[in-house]
Structure 1
Amino acid sequence: MTRVWNTDYGNMYDVEFRIIEKLSREEKHMHHKEKLEVPPFTGKLDEANGRYAIVFTKPGCNKCRQTIRILSRSIMVNHYQADKTAIEYFKRMGIRSMPVVFIFDHYDIIDEWCDLRVDKIKQYTEE
């Protein structure tokens, strides 16, 4: 049975409503992404061949330790313990698990993810 929602946009079917809600969340995520201030890279870009990772962790997080351990085999990794402000910011972005990983090529973010993502880690350790 299809549910009809009465919204500001008018009456909508359930599928339409879910699509608009998803797009709204993505737009909100993109808006917050623009305001992200990532700490500066403390290594030497020459040693990193221009590519490096910044990882935000929380204390006692095994997934965080594993991510850092495996990524650091192939690229430079700076990691920071997320404070309450950073955690609140990530929650507003829709991120619910740690670590939060940003991959840079020189000064441009080329990839980002959260949680232990073995597929993403392999992408950067097999190059």
Structure 2
Amino acid sequence: MSNRMIRTEYGYVSGIERSIIEKLSREEKHMHHKEKLEVPPFTGKLDEADGRYAIIFTKPGCVKCRQTIRQLSNSMTVNHYQADDTAIAYFKYIGVRSMPVVFIFDHYDIIDQWCDMRTDKINQYKEAD
């Protein structure tokens, strides 16, 4: 990368400075997405859930989403939410390309997460019962 000065929207900077600023801007944007997406609170009772529960983000008309909810509901308490634009943008940003997005909690700690219909993961939690 050249050290000659380049005119940008934020003034004249060297090529190295520009690459650093761009990298920091991308990281700040990533952090902003993380701050905006919050996993919704668990609305059940932890005693009833035996401390373990799932929060599942879905999209309308998704057969895999409905199946995941149905199958996980047999072994634990499940809260599901339709992903809004912010959540979808965040999921795309972190590389998620398929719904549902599943978070498994033990009390307040995320112990597992995945996307798409993962029968291997679902079976893992069915067998834990």
Task: Indicate the TM-score class for this superposition, using the shorter chain for normalisation.
Answer: 0.7 to 0.9
**Structure index of larger Rg:** 2
Quote the residue 1:60 is aligned against: 61
Question: How far did residue 126 of structure 1 move?
Answer: 1.0
Separation in structure 2 between the aligned mates of residue 95 and residue 34 of structure 1, nearest angstrom: 14
Q: Report the AA paired with residue 86 of structure 2.
A: T
Q: Give 5+ residue unaligned stretches, structure 1.
A: 1-6, 8-27
Q: Kindly provide the CA deviation profile for residues 20-48 of structure 1, in whole angstroms up to 9, marking residues without a partner as x.
A: xxxxxxxx8xx769645200000000000
Counterpart of 1:99 in structure 2 is 100
Q: Deviations over 1:28-72 (max 9, x none)?
A: 8xx769645200000000000000000000000000000000000
33-42 vs 102-111, greater mean Cα deviation = 33-42
Q: TM-score, normalised on structure 1?
A: 0.73
- CA distance in 2 between counterparts of 1:34 and 1:73 reads 31
In terms of fraction of residues, the more helix-rich structure is: 2
Q: Residue 122 of structure 1 aligns to a residue in which SS?
A: helix
Distance 1:124 1:61 in 2: 22
The 4+ residue runs of structure 1 with deviation greater than 4 A are 31-36
Cα root mean square deviation, aligned:
1.9
In structure 1, the partner of 2:122 is 121
Tell me the TM-score normalised to structure 2 length: 0.72
The count of residues paired between Structure 1 and Structure 2 equals: 99
Query: 1:111 is matched with which residue?
Result: 112
Letter in 2 for 1:72: S
- Alpha-carbon offset, residue 110 of structure 1: 0.1
